[in-house]
Structure 1
Amino acid sequence: MPRATIIGSGPNGLAAAVCLARAGYAVEVLEAADTVGGGVRSEETTLPGFVHDVCASVHPGAYSSPFFHAFGRDRIDWIVPEMSYAHPLDHGRAGIAWRDLERTADGLGPDASAWRALLRPLSAHIDGVQDFTGGSLLRIPADPVTAVRYGLRALEQGTSMAARTFRTPEAAALVAGVVAHANTALPSLSAAAAGLLLMAQAHAGGWAYPRGGAQRIADALVEDLLVHGGSIRTEEHVVDLSSLDWGDPRRGDLLLLNTAPRLALTLRDVPPGYAKAIRAYRYGAAAAKVDFALDGPVPWTNPDVALAPTVHVGGTREEVWASENAVARGRVSDRPYVLAVQPSILDDSRAPAGKQVLWTYIHAPANSDVDATELITRQIERFAPGFRDRILARHAVTPHERVRLNHAEIGGDIFGGAFTMRQAVVRPVLSPVPWRTPMPGVYLASAATPPGPGVNGMAGWHAARTALADAGERLALTDLFGS
């Protein structure tokens, strides 16, 4: 039986692991942390009984992912909210994005037609959007018409034209809040492309998240891996692959890296051209995260915002852009864009009765020691007076500290590399099959490869599929998991 060693137990690493185990490999996963999951872990970081997601929290990409559909999405108890996200504004106003596109458009008044024109063609053809964005861009898409539509809308929202698309502050803020997920200067084509995918998923399937915490995603994958003979070793921090006994590629043994690509450079006989390309791969700004344990719901001025698990807190489009552009210049705004998740409004397993958890982060310069607690508290208090009085406990993680939680987050970059237009194509090298390295038996399986950031398992599946094809096994997801 050939061996497959996988470094890193994030969702991509585990996706690759279950695929290879089902294909007949003896799989072993090595994880540096003392718990499994990478970007999908949950812990009681503030007080006993308050379950916080350590990294990612809401998972539209996983809920709609071809990998998770094949794996068995119903193995996880998903919460699919009626309201995908909200964006509070001053004076009690707010933009509300419902899962129902028509309901969302109807609430935007004079911008109803513009919202439909932007998102109806994408959400109605979400499979085509996800095919185009779900792998290497150096290929012919399965649905070229949808790919062109998607590209044209990204061009509109990723340039100065974005400022002329919507007339109401609510619609403009709704778009800006999602586009700002990309953690780059705005407006930008790459950020618009990422935001459009998320907005299309919001109306096509919803911004779902697992009941009980993100850890449930890792738990489901680990259970399948163990059933099929795989194993996991935690507290195994691999920093030099040259001394790792991962097998013999001549007999079909594999090494898959769900890590920063630079770890591959510790192997022997790395071709100079490949080493140069990996060293040229750039990392972006970081995340400064704060978890809050609350004695009740966030007291939003606009009551509809209290119904949304995901809330983008940043004010107007112009304020969101200013905040993200400040980070791109190496500083943090006094009024930062805050990505907030209040999962316990629909999941009572996340906090004691009557209490709530709140997950938040801002973007910040890489490797900085920014403690975002007060910045986030003030910004939320702006739209939810009395929020400060609800805080029972808080737990902050600076960008510099994020590497301790996940060694793949270089400088605190949670995306596995700056999400620029160039690095959407060259990720981390220019190749139609960037998961394959020139070293025999070695593959990349992290967010530093297409489709990039997000919990969807697709980079792991692409890496496993590439490895299997190189071994002469051209297996599809349905071959491994059934129809």
Structure 2
Amino acid sequence: MPRRPSPPTRLTGLADRLGLPLGADRAAPGEGFALPRGAEPGRAVVVGSGPNGLTAAALLAREGWEVDVYERHCAPGGASASGPVLGEGTVVDLGAAAHPFGVASPVFRELDLTGHGLRWLHPELPMGHPLPGGPAALLHRDLDRTAEGLGRDARAWRAVHGALVRQPEKLVEDVLGPMLRPWPHPVAMAQLGLRAPWPAAWTARAAFRTEQARALYTGSAVHAILPPGRPLTSAFGALFGALGMTTGWPVAEGGSGAIVAALVAVLEDHGGRLHLDHDVRDLRELPAADAVLLDMTPRQVAALAGTDLPAGYARALRRWRYGAAVSKVDFLLDGPIPWTDAALTGAGTVHLGGTSAQIQHAEAEAAAGRMPEQPFVMLCQQQAADSSRATGAAAGRTVVWSYAHVPHGWAGDVRPLIEEQVERFAPGFRDRIVHAEASRPADLEAWDSNLVGGDIAGGSMGGLQLLLRPAPTPVPHRAGRPGLYLASASTPPGAGVHGMAGAWAVRTLLADRVVR
């Protein structure tokens, strides 16, 4: 029989039963992601091998569980995968590209992914934002250097970000978990909370006087894939900026698939099994298990047979809202992008959206279902940090990853719009294109069914869905009935390659099994 833990305090006992981060099992800042103790190991099945599913599987295997992971594709990884899409010698990230949350992830640190082959590589600049008729705004991996580059907004930039960059590990531990819980570092979370409620467009106008600072902040905010005029988007602007100025926005050496390879290595080191080419449509076809964890969004869960979901929970899943989409184009160039501002050559990520007002207009149009003429474009130059992205037959060429924010399910051709956005700030870009591959929202969903309509966030981050993912419940990783858990971006903390949704699902599962 598992040992009975010491009698908890009333608050700690409640937190443990809810899978919340209080009590002696909590790690000190920077020490990783601790799990409840006293749960007897069993057998688990994980459906889906994205970073969240693999993280959950690796944690359980390390805890002595018998674990089987089922994946419908011939390779693991979900949207964290890489391949020679642009020809022999190229490495292209098929989904996620830069990883501000990955490098800071407490559970990736806990699983020692860097000890299993993963290597983070940092470009000279985490991010750059070109502007029409002037120098680009540059985010350095240093608060003071970034502020100094913003001229008369230096003091304001420090005021907005200063408290957040002092202890980034505490901030990350707070935000990479359910919002409706006792935060492990309430002071750090309060500092973000003071900045969070406001629309990013309001904060940009109120706090900054230069277009460089406004655009730099607003561009970070739209990582939420929401118009920056929406409430709570300031949280994203402040958070992404703070991470860039501390732990950075690195890439994974050899492609984002290297993150998945490291997770698989941890899983297999502890006896876990990965079953590829196995499309699970009915849970009853799987081996009997003590727990089933689903790395799936609500639409896929609702369509899955054998879940025996309670009627109320099933209704909540059917009401889930998916958000604006991305449409992706990868380019192979015969040389570097010819930026007007040469400083952008060293930027791992470049935001192409023009001024803060232009970004607001583009994002509002996409959210309303209208395709903007000048969409917000995210562009990654992984070769600024990782020379392995073009070797052999592709040596001397440049791989460029990009996507534009588009309406949900948009079926148009985004390539000319992305090219025009790059050309605005890098005249001659088109002349350097050797080859390009486009992936529309429908293509992305066909490749990874979790990318519904091209939504890469597992569902809109707007409104209450930011706080209540995927249903109004204090324990969001329980999937409506005993033994069934959700471990996807549709649960807290949401989108990103950080594994924390899987980690929280495991934490909830183990807390449920602790004998009191």
TM range (shorter): over 0.9
Shift in Å, 1:157 = 4.8
1:31 aligns with 2:71: yes
Residue in 2 that maps onto 1:480: none
Query: Following the alignment from structure 2 to structure 1, what is the Cα–Cα distance between the partners of residues 381 and 515?
Result: 44
In the alignment, the residues of structure 1 paired with residue 515 and residue 346 of structure 2 have an alpha-carbon distance, to the nearest angstrom, of 48
Percentage of matched positions with identical amino acids: 42
Deviation of the 1:105 alpha carbon: 0.3
- The answer to whether structure 1 residue 163 and structure 2 residue 180 are counterparts is no
> Quick one: distance in 2 between partners of 1:190 and 1:289?
26
User: Which residue matches 1:259?
Assistant: 296
Using the TM superposition, give the Cα deviation of residue 127 of structure 1 relative to its aligned residue in structure 2, in angstroms: 2.8
Residue in 2 aligned with 1:300?
A: 339
Q: Does 1:276 align with 2:315?
A: yes
**What is the CA–CA distance in structure 2 between the aligned matches of 1:11 and 1:361, rounded to whole Å?**
21
- Deviation string for 1:383-421 (max 9, x for gaps)? 001100111110000011111111111111100010113
Distance 2:295 2:272 in 1: 16
- Structural mapping, 1:36-55, within 5 Å: 36-55=76-95
Q: Distance in 2 between matches of 1:126 and 1:360?
A: 28
The superposition leaves residues 5-45 of structure 1 with CA deviations (integer Å, 9 ceiling, x where unpaired) of: 11111100010010011111221111122211112100111
Aligned 1:237-248 pairs, distance under 5 A:
237-241=279-283, 243-248=284-289
**By how many angstroms is 1:61 displaced?**
0.2
Q: Does 1:369 align with 2:408?
A: no
Letter in 2 for 1:33: H
Amino acid paired to 1:256: L
**Residues 388 and 364 of structure 1, relative CA distance in 2, 3 Å threshold:** same
Alignment correspondent of 2:481 = 439
CA distance in 2, matches of 1:415, 1:444: 15
In structure 2, C-alpha distance between the alignment counterparts of 1:375 and 1:240, rounded to whole Å: 41
Which of the numbers 379, 385, 390 marks the counterpart of 1:346? 385
CA–CA distance in structure 2, aligned partners of residues 130 and 442 of structure 1: 27
1:284, 1:216 → 2: CA distance?
A: 28
C-alpha distance in 2, partners of 1:473/1:181? 41
Q: Which AA in structure 1 matches 2:94? A: V
Instruction: Give the superposition deviation at 1:186.
Output: 2.3
User: How far apart in 2 are the matches of 1:407 and 1:130?
Assistant: 28
**How far apart are 1:272 and its partner, in Å?**
1.1
| Letter matched to residue 19 of structure 1 | L
Contact conserved, 1:42 with 1:52, CA < 8 A, in 2? yes
What's 2:108 paired with? 68
Q: Deviations over 1:349-379 (max 9, x none)?
A: 1013321100000111122212211110111
Counterpart in the other structure of 1:183: 225
Counterpart residue number, 2:259? 217
Q: Please give the alpha-carbon distance, in whole angstroms, between the structure 1 residues aligned to 2:72 and 2:450.
A: 10
Counterpart Cα distance in 1 of 2:337 and 2:432: 7
Does the CA contact (< 8 Å) of 2:197 and 2:231 recur in 1? yes
Secondary structure class of the residue paired with 1:48: coil
Q: Secondary structure at the match of 2:133?
A: helix
| 1:159 CA displacement | 5.8
Aligned: 1:12 with 2:49: no
Work out the CA distance in 2 between the residues paired with 1:395 and 1:147: 41
* 8 A Cα contact 1:282 1:417, kept in partner: yes
C-alpha contact 1:156 1:162 (8 A) present in aligned 2: no
* Cα displacement (A) at 1:164: 2.0
Report if the CA contact (8 A) 1:45-1:395 is conserved.
yes
Distance in 2 between residues matched to 1:263 and 1:315, nearest whole Å? 37
Tell me the TM-score normalized by structure 1.
0.94
For residues 175-218 of structure 1, what are the alpha-carbon distances to aligned partners after superposition, in whole Å with 9 as ceiling and x for unaligned? Answer: 11111111112222343222322111111211111111000000
Q: Which one of the candidate residues 357, 360, 376 is aligned to 1:337?
A: 376
TM-score by length of 2: 0.88
In 1, distance between residues paired with 2:77 and 2:360?
A: 32
1:192 aligns with 2:234: yes
Choose which of 391, 397, 415 in structure 1 pairs with 2:457.
415
Counterparts of 2:341 and 2:200 in 1: how far apart (Å)? 29
Instruction: Give the match for residue 285 of structure 1.
Output: 324
Q: CA deviation at 1:158?
A: 3.4
Once the two structures are TM-superposed, the CA of residue 143 in structure 1 deviates from its matched residue by 2.2
**SS of the counterpart of 2:204?**
helix
Is the CA contact (8 Å cut-off) linking 1:84 and 1:98 kept in structure 2?
yes
**What amino acid does structure 2 have at the position aligned with 1:284?**
G
Q: Do the aligned residues in 2 keep the contact of 1:92 with 1:301 (CA within 8 Å)?
A: no
CA deviation after TM superposition for structure 1 residue 161, in Å: 4.2
**Contact residue 83 and residue 91 of structure 2 kept, 8 A:** yes
C-alpha distance in 2, partners of 1:55/1:143? Answer: 32
Question: Which deviates the most, 462-471 or 287-296?
Answer: 462-471
Relative to structure 2, which stretch is displaced further, 50-59 or 228-237? 228-237
2:348 paired residue number = 309
Select which of 467, 492, 500 maps to 1:458.
500
- Unmatched segments (≥5 aa) in structure 1: 475-483
- Give the equivalent residue in structure 2 for 1:91: 133
Q: Secondary structure at the match of 2:49?
A: coil
